[in-house]
């Protein structure tokens, strides 16, 4: 017979707010508002990351991803139009936390390879969040029959995965070793 842990027995159900999502479509729209805020926040944060990076390939990768991120915002606006809604952002607490962490990394490291390694780590956390979000939204769009949104989500998802691979490549080529040897 299994015994219940103290944590399991003290856990409580979370009551839903009055404005809570009742249907998958509500959850879809909420996720869309969330990632719209996140992408717009990234458009503001990426230039600061680029300015604080020193590795030429990292600076170039951030510059390239900024241009992509601006397109992601436009695609999200097209999705809002496709579902007959006004583009509306809802603060994304997860992205805010990731951006705050990235800012903290920059403040706590000196310019050079160590800061660059930290910027890559922060950027990859952002990419992984976006990959998870776009994957989820694509799954919702598929079930809901939102083909225009699905197409845009899959294109953005592919770009986010590519960006993550690029960042890994920059770190793996020599940057992490340079950071290790930095004194």
Is residue 2 predicted with pLDDT exceeding 60? no
Average pLDDT over residues 144-157: 98
DSSP secondary structure, 128-164, as one string? HHHHHHHHHHHHHHHHHT-HHHHHHHHHHHHHHHHHH
Average pLDDT over residues 162-168: 96
Is residue 18 predicted with pLDDT exceeding 90? no
Q: Could you read off the pLDDT of 36-70 as tens digits, one per residue?
A: 999 999 999 999 999 999 999 999 999 999 999 99
Domains, the chain, in order of start with CATH, read 23-181 (1.20.1260.10)
| pTM greater than the 0.85 cutoff | yes
Q: Could you read off the pLDDT of 78-115 as tens digits, one per residue?
A: 999 999 999 999 999 999 999 999 999 999 999 999 99
In 47-159, DSSP assigns E strands to: none
Measure the CA–CA gap between 128 and 95, rounded to whole angstroms. 11
């Amino acid at each position: 017979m299994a015994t219940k842990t103290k944590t399991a027995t003290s856990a409580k159900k979370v009551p839903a707010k009055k404005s809570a999502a009742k249907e998958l479509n509500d959850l879809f729209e909420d996720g869309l508002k969330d990632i719209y805020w996140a992408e717009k926040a990234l458009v503001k944060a990426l230039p600061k990351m680029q300015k604080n990076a020193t590795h030429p390939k990292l600076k170039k990768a951030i510059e390239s991803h900024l241009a992509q991120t601006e397109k992601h915002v436009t695609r999200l606006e097209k999705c809002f139009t496709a579902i007959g809604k006004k583009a509306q952002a809802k603060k994304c607490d997860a992205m805010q936390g990731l951006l705050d962490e990235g800012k903290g990394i920059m403040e706590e490291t000196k310019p050079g390879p160590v800061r660059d390694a930290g910027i890559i780590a922060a950027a990859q956390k952002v990419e992984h969040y976006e990959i998870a979000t776009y994957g989820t939204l694509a799954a919702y769009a598929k079930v809901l029959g939102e083909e225009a949104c699905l197409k845009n989500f899959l294109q953005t998802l592919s770009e986010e995965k590519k960006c993550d691979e690029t960042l890994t490549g920059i770190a793996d080529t020599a940057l992490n070793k340079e950071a290790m040897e930095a004194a």
